[in-house]
Amino acid sequence: MALKFSEYPYTRPDMQVLEKEFFTTLSTFKQVQNFSDAISAIEQITILRKNFDTLATIASVRYTLDTQNTQYQAEQEFFDTQYPIYQGWITEFYKVLLNHSLANSLKVHYGEQIFKLAESAVKTFNDTVIEELQRENALTSEYTKLIGSAQIEFEGRTYNLAGLVPFMQDIDRNRRINAHKAYLSFFEQNKDKLDDLFDQLVKIRTVIAQKLGFQNFVELAYLRLSRVDYTHKEVALYREYIHKYVVPLVAELQERKRKRLGLDTLYFYDEKLKFKSGNPKPKGDPEWILEQGKIMYKELSKETGEFFEFMQQHELMDVVNRKGKASGGYCTYFSLYNAPYIFSNFNGTTHDVEVLTHEAGHAFQVYCSQNQALPEYYFPTYEACEIHSMSMEFITWRWMELFFKEDTTKFKFDHISSALTFLPYGAMVDEFQHIIYQNPDLTPKERKKLWQELEKKYLPYRKYDEASFASEGGMWQAQSHIYANPFYYIDYTLAQICALQYWTWYQENPEEAWQSYLNLCRQGGSKSFLELVEIGRLSSPFDEETMSSVVKNAYLWLKDIADETL
């Protein structure tokens, strides 16, 4: 019987032993002339990789579950140091693969994507940058630890950042204001440290890029993300489509909300409240939500029913917010056990259900593609990964009444309006990063001024009152991706345009849409982003007509719902 997460054994890997085994097997692979021997060598290398990756993932998950756990703090620090060395070994494997005498036969067997990924990867690493990569890892872990350490006093109790969110969308305006002040006080108190952390990250990433022969970090970041079928030029044009088609619609939605809330002015601290009677909330605690999730996934399909039962039986979800737990949510994968893992912080808001379905989309995808032959194929590249997660949010709409009862329409309205509202914000984060890394010597003050300017471009409706940290351009420091996953954020928006297509499709023809989605999940990472979009019979988000029609369709759906009914 498969192990539960709490039963996973953990021992720090012996890097010397692992290195010897890896390079002995790689030497064999390099010399073989027989196709079946080449496959066998790759399979042996894959087993070594799965062992290391699983141990690294166990350490990382247990650290994020309790950032104050000294044992796993030490293990996280170990992997921060060792992962760049391990990355060097994988780069050597890629070099051998690309130049192998059997490369053409291997390309037929495994598909072209692994060769595209390998070509990108070898450009992102050499031994001269190991020290800088170790430093980059340490800095991102320091950010995670700092954010996870937040202990904020509010109304006589102590909360972390996620715990304050329900109060930030309270129907009582004074309570919202005070909750925002409490939330922002953490960043205000730590702004110098956050500035310094980011400054070090920008500089170290720039050094890495220049050592590898790039002008700046932007091109290197795209290669790190394995973006093999588009460049920053397509992304820049895509951001302009968002500015052209989405920003005006979102401004209208915000004005509509102002009227719905009965406010003279919609301020920053009002944005999280969607309805005068209060935002929809799931009608039970975390355990109850998971029980409804089990019913939902059993009814959705045979495959999802089996998947969710597997996740519950093997302790592969931790969703409860608590002291010391890292913020945010993620899905990861223990390849040695063929087991996805969902991490999140439920806080009694719609976010609980959205994050459950979102991360379950990731987890279901990798559950479906666990039999892929290569570790590179378990997950696709990030923007394709997010198609699975965001689409799952919409595919499960039929079951939202389980969670929200009489507030289901409010939830759906909020879900679609939030999907549209997110697009300009996602584009803003992306443009901010492009400018930052093209100008790595900007001071903290100049970075905040840049954020202010971009807010005027992408969020023209936003108004600040007395929130000085926020009004002075500091809110980007609360966006963890900017620190830990540079240039990842635009991927959510690309996927959102695809997910909204599934939303329409599933309403019109659920069986056909589901089969497309299931097929997409089974592909794993065996194809590039735009190839997967095509396989899913979706339209490319880089196409202007796609952007225009998708957002218009969502906007018109919202327009058909009368505010009096919400």
Give 3-state DSSP helix, strand, coil % of the chain, rounded to 5. 70, 5, 25
Query: For residue 277, what pLDDT is reported?
Result: 93
Q: Is the pLDDT score of 466 beyond 80? A: no
Place of tokens 């695809």: 498
Q: Is the pLDDT score of 74 beyond 90? A: yes
Minimum mean pLDDT among 46-50, 68-72, 401-405: which range? 68-72
- By the 8 A CB rule, do 229 and 541 touch? no
* Pick from 499, 512, 489: nearest CA to 554: 499
Q: Is the pLDDT score of 185 beyond 70? A: yes
pLDDT tens, position by position, 515-551: 999 999 999 999 999 999 999 999 999 999 999 999 9
pLDDT tens, position by position, 469-492: 999 999 999 999 999 999 999 999
- By the 8 A CB rule, do 315 and 342 touch? no
Q: Is the pLDDT score of 273 beyond 80? A: yes
Q: What is the pTM of this model?
A: 0.93
For residue 149, what is the DSSP state?
Answer: T
If pLDDT is split at 50, 70 and 90, which confidence band does 467 have? Answer: low
For residue 488, give the 3-state DSSP assignment.
coil
Query: For residue 129, what pLDDT is reported?
Result: 96
CA distance 216 to 254: 37
Q: Give the count of alpha carbons within 13 A of 265, CB side only.
A: 7
Average pLDDT over residues 14-20: 97
Query: For residue 327, what pLDDT is reported?
Result: 84
CA distance 311 to 93: 33
Query: For residue 88, what pLDDT is reported?
Result: 94
Q: Is the pLDDT score of 408 beyond 90? A: yes
**DSSP strands (E only) in 232-350:** 317-320, 330-334, 339-346
pLDDT tens, position by position, 295-317: 999 999 999 999 999 999 999 99
